[in-house]
Structure 1
Amino acid sequence: MFICQAAPSSIFFLITYLTGLTMFWIKYRCVAVTKDAIYVLESSKLSGGAKPQSLAATLPRRTQLGPVSGRWGQMNLLGERHWIHKRFHHEVAAADREAGFAE
């Protein structure tokens, strides 16, 4: 399981951190990977993605999520650009490995 944020650019996170002004343009999501599927869950903005509230989508387990790199790794989910903080990169790599994708 990992948290990601949908935003047009990673600069939105800096602006949100400094001012809070772009908080409402960012979608906060939690991604839960099971042996059967990948669940993308909508989370409240104030939780930063930590408290899922509803199911946004179910993806096939064979969906490749990575690779991701950098402080804020980028991936496309549900037709949107999502950003994943470095502390969750190992979880993305593990999910891809378990699905049979090489690193």
Structure 2
Amino acid sequence: MALRDKLRKNAAHHLQPGETIQSVFCAQTTSQYFALISYWIIILSNAYRVVVVTDRRILVCKSGRLSMTPVKEILRELPRGTRIGQPSGLWWRCETLGERLYINKRFHKDVNAADAVVAH
């Protein structure tokens, strides 16, 4: 099963009746560049987040420390009109979702897709 499909499946139990997922992507709380200083910083301080963008709201969900696919609990709920931002670089630092998150380049197209719906 593809990563995004697994994320959608795991997030489904947090949706309201009739709510649909428009975009889903992973983020983490610590920059990977800290690994250059010490690998232990990443292991001890990093946590994964799953961002679920629906037709009604944006959910920032707790995932875990070792795996990014579980969707354990909703940490934050934001209005659907919230613009996430224009990602760039290998690890983009996002501060519009209630905490500083680092989003890898592989998920930049998902961020852009979520913001494209708001623009219309």
**Pairwise TM-score range, normalised by the shorter structure:** 0.7 to 0.9
1:53-86 CA-to-partner distances (Å, cap 9, x unmatched) read 11101110011111010011111121x2211000
1:79-102 CA-to-partner distances (Å, cap 9, x unmatched) read x2211000000000010010117x
2:98 is the alignment partner of 1:89: no
Structure with bigger helix share is: 2
Out of 44, 49, 55, the residue aligned to residue 24 of structure 1 is 44
Per the normalisation by structure 1, the TM-score is 0.83
Structure with bigger strand share is: 1
What amino acid does structure 1 have at the position aligned with 2:45?
Answer: W
CA RMSD of aligned residues (A): 1.9
Unpaired segments ≥5 residues, structure 2: 1-23
Distance in 2 of aligned mates of 1:2 and 1:50: 10
Identity, % of aligned positions: 36
Larger Rg: 2
Question: Which residue of structure 1 lines up, in the alignment, with residue 69 of structure 2?
Answer: 50
Per the normalisation by structure 2, the TM-score is 0.72
